[in-house]
Structure formats: structure tokens, C-alpha cells
Amino acid sequence: MPFTSSAETSPQTVNRLSLYLRCLRQLRELHIQKVSSQELARRFDLSATQIRKDLAQFGEFGIRGVGYDVAQLIDHLRSLLGLDRRHKVVIVGIGNLGLALAQYPGFNSTSFQVVAGVDIDHDKVGRKAGAFTIQHAEELAAVVRSSGAEIGVLTVPEAAAQENYDGLVQAGVRAVLNFTRARIRTVPEVPLKEVDLRIYLEETAFFLRR
Amino acid sequence: MPFTSSAETSPQTVNRLSLYLRCLRQLRELHIQKVSSQELARRFDLSATQIRKDLAQFGEFGIRGVGYDVAQLIDHLRSLLGLDRRHKVVIVGIGNLGLALAQYPGFNSTSFQVVAGVDIDHDKVGRKAGAFTIQHAEELAAVVRSSGAEIGVLTVPEAAAQENYDGLVQAGVRAVLNFTRARIRTVPEVPLKEVDLRIYLEETAFFLRR
């Protein structure tokens, strides 16, 4: 049972698993087949202890003295993160950001597909965005049901974020990605992931210090 | 000299410093004034050893047995990350994503301001986007010079990413944020930060495993 789900897995651990996956994909592109936790840590400036601890939560992946098989660990992490099947996504709020995400390659890949989008603006209803036709926000519950969307993406104005999270919960999505700055009161059954694009500028600003 | 810049500071360390800053801001909102590395690690599922190691690179912040002063460490990290002054940003490619970022609150804050944007589409030139008027991509060098933009944001089609990175380098920006999937050949003087929004969906997908 290598893939036991743990209720205790924290968002930071998930964040790191996703990071390890990206690092391993880079190694695969370099045709590197085996990697130790020390080597992985050294190359990507991570903690070898943390890598071993994070991975050990989900079973034994590495072989002592040999390390991890890169391709195998990629598969394990994909499975662990639930990326071995395609998740359907609904976008709530088809402004510039909503439109951009509807067409964003990473949101329309082997693991994800934006299947629907809603907006309160009647003028937008019926227009194409990415692979779907925009529907009215009042139809959200029916849209989620008929599209099978599991993940909701909030790209509404900040003031409308809470009611639309609540609407997504009632409509039956299982997780929500919040691109607004709103602090949303959540229910435990529908976890919310915050997206703050400012962090990319913050990390860039560091390089301007010289 | 607590803020010695290190040429050895890796992107992952910068990433973690930015993460610590976000954690500390949360503590400040909870009116928590002191925190130890252990407590910070426990609350946000980080490694206390890593926190101490990361911060020790830049001087001594904590007091043994007492921990860190939250407000002081926030100030230190802001200074360390170069967030104690405002950085000007130019957006290259004013499609849906470019327009969204032009108006994005986190890109127009005390530390950042989108001051200019260019596009190759003559129909867009002269239109307002966020706080600026769109100019033609051919004017990039003049736009960067007159606006004082230090950070370039690439929101062009993937195929146009390399030439626009090169254009930003020639125009004199000091760092670039890449929202495209293109693998860009960079020069050491102008570091490139990759943005992959797919990671947010990946981290969300984990919660759908139950």
C-alpha cells in the first residue's frame, strides 16, 4: 500500500511533493535515471532530510545507497498528487484572468481540463472561451452537474468571492482555487487553495538588490 | 551588516524567504509578536533547522530561547527581498493574461507598480490597460527607458518568448518573469523567473484523492 492517503498531510507537504515532481521532471529531461535524496537536495537546494521524511509518509520509495528511480518516483508522485487522471475545472468569473485561464495550456493538459465557465454578465453568456461556451452564473449548479467539474476557480471581484465559493460548495465541487484577495470562510469538505501571483514579483525583486 | 547579499543565494532559498514572509504576515494578523523557529515550523509545517539555516545566511535575527520578533523579522525579510522600495514593471504582450496582470492588485502595491505595457497589435496601441496606455512593441527600448521599468513580464505567445526576452535585455530591464511555457536561453545579468500556474491545480488535485 504505497499510496496511503493521510488526513494529516499538510498543504506545505503537498506543496513540496509538487516541487519534487517538478525537480524530477527536470532530471528526466536531462536523462538522469537515478538520484539520491542528497543529490536531489544539492541540485535544487532542498533539504535531504525533509525529502526523505516527506516521501516516507507515503511508503518506501528509495533504495538505500542507490537512491530513487527517477521515472518511478515521478509516477509515484503523479499518483500521490492525483495527477494520473484528468480533473475537470469550472471557472467562475470570465474577466481577463478567467479568459486567460480558460485558454492556459497548463489548465488544459493530460491532468486538467477547463470544461465550463460562468459569469453574471448576460452579454458574455453564449460566447466561446477556451473549449467551452460561457453560461450564466445563476446556472452554476446545473453547469457543475452536467460538466462533472470537480475543481472551481474563483476569478470574480474580491467582493463576490465568498458567495461564489458558497455557490461552488452547494453546486458540489470538491476543491476551489482562489485567485482573489478575499479571505473566504470555508467548509472542511471543500478545501480552498489561495493563489497570490505577487510572490513571483517578490522573488524576482530579490535579484534587483545588487 | 545584517543584509549582506550573497551571490550564492539560490532560487529555492529566495522562495523560502518569501514563504516565511507570508507566514509571518499571518502571525502578525493574529497579533502574535514573538515566534521561535520551532513554533514557526510547527504552525506552517516547515523545517525549523531549515528556517534557522536560511535566516542565518543573512545575519543573526533570533534570540536564543526567545525566538524572533515577528514585526522585526517581517521588516528584515522585506528588506532582504528588496520589498522596501517600489519596483516598476513592464508587461510585454497585452492579451487576456497581460490585461489581467496590468490590473492585478498584487502587481500594483507598495512594492510593485505596472508602469507600462507593449503589444505588437496596432489596434491595441493607445488603449488604456491598468494605469498605463498600451504602446507598440517596437517602442520597447524607449518605453523601458522612459518608464524606468526594472522587471519585464512576458505574456506573449510561446513562440515569441525568446525574442521578447532578448528585447527586454537590450532594453535594460534587470529581471524577467516568464508566464509562457517557452524554455528561454538567458544571460546571467537578467535572471528569469518561471511562472507555472498549473502547480496550483496540481496541489488542489491532491485533495480530490479521498
Mutate one of B86, B109, B173, B204 to test the A interface: name it (highest A CB count within 10 A).
B204
CA nearest to B18, candidates B189, B185, B193, B183? B193
Identify the pLDDT of residue B147. 97
Chain B residues with CB under 8 Å of A208 CB are 82, 87, 150-151, 174-175
Query: Which residues of chain A carry a pLDDT beneath 50?
Result: 1-7
**Residue of chain A with shortest Cα separation from B182:** A105
pLDDT digits (tens, 9 = 90+) for A145-201: 999 999 999 999 999 999 999 999 999 999 999 999 998 999 999 999 999 999 899
Q: How many CB pairs under 8 A join A and B?
A: 178
CATH 1.10.10.10 fits B11-80, yes or no: yes
Minimum distance, in Å, between the CA of residue B5 and any CA atom of chain A: 7
Q: Do A105 and B181 touch (CB under 8 A)?
A: yes
Identify the pLDDT of residue B4. 39
Query: Which residues of chain B carry a pLDDT beneath 70?
Result: 1-8, 210
Mutate one of A190, A206, A208 to test the B interface: name it (highest B CB count within 10 A).
A206
d(CA A144, CA A89): 9
Per-residue b or e along B4-27, where b marks 16 or more CB atoms closer than 10 Å to that residue's CB: eeeeebeebbbbbbbbbbebbeeb
Identify the pLDDT of residue A3. 37
Entry pTM: 0.85
Q: Which amino acid is at A154?
A: L
Q: Do B22 and A99 touch (CB under 8 A)?
A: no
Minimum distance, in Å, between the CA of residue B87 and any CA atom of chain A: 7
Is residue B92 within 8 Å of residue B137, measured between CB atoms?
yes
Identify the pLDDT of residue B210. 57
Is residue B99 within 8 Å of residue B128, measured between CB atoms?
no
DSSP letters for A120-161 = S-TTTTT-EETTEE-EEGGGHHHHHHHHT--EEEE-S-GGGH
Identify the pLDDT of residue B6. 46
Is residue A117 within 8 Å of residue A92, measured between CB atoms?
yes
What is the longest distance spanned by two Cα atoms in chain A?
63
* Domain spans in chain B, listed from the N-terminal domain onward: 11-80, 87-198
pLDDT digits (tens, 9 = 90+) for B118-170: 999 999 999 999 899 999 999 999 999 999 999 999 999 999 999 999 999 99
Q: Report in angstroms the alpha-carbon separations of A44 from A24, B9, B45, B136, B176.
A: 10, 12, 20, 39, 20
Cell 535524496 found at: A37
Chain B residues with CB under 8 Å of A207 CB are 174-175, 191
H/E stretch holding B88 reads strand B87-92
Is residue B94 within 8 Å of residue B137, measured between CB atoms?
no
d(CA A26, CA A46): 15
Identify the pLDDT of residue A210. 57
C-alpha cell at A187: 467548509
Gyration radius (Cα) of chain B, Å? 20
Minimum distance, in Å, between the CA of residue B49 and any CA atom of chain A: 10
Asked if B100 is an interface residue toward chain A (Cβ–Cβ < 8 A), one would say yes
Q: Which CATH architecture has domain A87-198?
A: 3-Layer(aba) Sandwich (3.40)
Chain B residues with CB under 8 Å of A101 CB are 197
Neighbouring residues of A14: CB distance < 8 A, sequence distance ≥ 6: A81, B203, B206, B207
